[in-house]
Amino acid sequence: MSYTVDFHTVSTMGLESSPVVETLAGLRANEARYFMNKYQQEFIVVPASESRETLDYVKHILKTERGLEFASNPLETSRFQIDAIKFAYVFYEDGLAVNVMYTVDDPKKRAVGFKLSEGMAVPKELEGKFKFATQKSKLAGTIRGSFFVIKGEY
């Protein structure tokens, strides 16, 4: 069952098992606000159990590009395209959000982003491999983020 994320009234629906449920919900709402403000696009999430194709897509890119596999349980995903840009998101139980931005017609504008919810530790899979910048958000508190450029074709 899909859910349109409301960034005016932050809901923890679908994320209840996370130890950082409030800040993860804020992080998800922060993403929803970004897409509405920049693209006038609603941010719709689907339970991970109903979105195997999106999970497999993101896992394949992570594994192929950087040898990454996250131990945390995926809770929700989102996947959509705006113009020539494909987006895919996975929200994990530990508070991690992974997003893939894949520009169809420009291989120089493809990346994987990591955002850490406030209150979560850096996942062991990312420790020492990435530097994280911080960003303040009214919805999510302090978000730590990093990224890498995708080199392959997916």
Q: DSSP assignment of 60-120, as one string?
A: HHHHHHH-----SPEEEEEEEEETTEEEEEEEETTSEEEEEEEETT-TTSEEEEEEE-TTP
The whole-model pTM stands at: 0.96
In a domain? residue 114: yes
In a domain? residue 8: yes
In a domain? residue 33: yes
Q: How confident is the model at residue 100 (pLDDT cuts 50, 70, 90)?
A: very high
Residues 132, 123 contacting (CB under 8 angstroms)? no
pLDDT for position 42: 97
Q: Which domain holds residue 12?
A: 3-149
Determine the average pLDDT of the residues in 29-58.
Answer: 98
In a domain? residue 154: no
Q: Which of 83, 45, 65 is nearest to 154 (CA)?
A: 65
Q: How confident is the model at residue 66 (pLDDT cuts 50, 70, 90)?
A: very high
Counted domains in the chain: 1
In a domain? residue 49: yes
d(CA 142, CA 130): 17
pLDDT for position 103: 97
pLDDT for position 51: 97
